[in-house]
Amino acid sequence: MSNTVEFAKMNGLGNEILVVDMRGRTDRVTSQAAIALNAASDTQFDQIMAIHDPKAQGTDAFIDILNSDGSKAQACGNGTRCVVQALAAETGKKVFTFQTVAGILNAVEHDDGTISVDMGRPVFEWDRIPLAEEFHDTSRIELQIGPIDSPVLHSPSAMSMGNPHAIFWVDRDPMSFDLERFGPLLENHPIFPEKANITLAQVMSDSALRTRTWERGAGLTLACGSAACASAVSAARTGRTGRKVSIDVASSPIRQPLIIDWREDDHVVMTGPAEWEWSGLVDPSTGMWSRDAERGAEAR
């Protein structure tokens, strides 16, 4: 494994993340490598966060994001927190500015170990989300699953947080729905020309939501940061909550909420944890890898 770089297996509230250090290189983590890594049980992931040398002045790094099916992603809030924790441990810095294909992200690690990421401004215009047809009001679009007279899910709020989201409002525990069945149908619905993240959101109070997400390009996920942001913004936008809420991610094994603050300057700030699990070496072109303790062992 001569063409290797360091990577870390991490998670953000259960959202499985691989942070790959591509600094000092001009190549990229390939789609084939991503698919191969996800095929191995130890390295299954929701997103790869590949850290590259900065492209824009005043930024600390350019982050390339891949889904587990090898496709590109525009945003990943939980993954960004993992990058912050990794770089903070390496450099001692607490404040970072990253560039992604979706724009600039500012982040800070707090003294208690939680990390805040400014996810930018939400987008509500139908052609920028994007949707395949015009909706004057994207806070409630015409889309449903199930019988016409008694749909299981209907009338989601649609928006973009750098990637497209549809938030379906439910009146019972999101875990009680067969999202594994409905998720692929909704993600790939023709109304979403770039596919979409599908979230079920239950309003618990005027400052709390409970959510579960089918993630575009990754499937059922334990957590999705941009979906939590989209849920919080959509809840405030439709008068269900205030602008600052705690998100109980129903599928996450980590019982710590995400705090989402849709600030008056229109920026959405997400605060939550990140956790390092283990590290190793990986070939970014093939996905062959080894753990730190196994660097002399046969590569996978």
Radius of gyration, CA atoms only, the chain: 19
The per-residue DSSP string of 113-169 comes to S-EEEE----B--TTTTT-SS--S-TTS-S-EES-TTS-SEE--EEEESSSEEEEEE
Catalytic status, residue 76: yes
Query: Among 224, 229, 236, 288, which one carries the catalytic annotation?
Result: 224
Tokens for 284? 């970014």
Beta bridge partners of 11: 16, 275
Identify the active-site residue in 51, 75, 76, 198. Answer: 76
Residue of 146, 130, 284, 113 whose CA lies nearest to 193: 130
Beta strands 208-215 and 275-282 are unpaired
What is the set of active-site residues? 76, 224
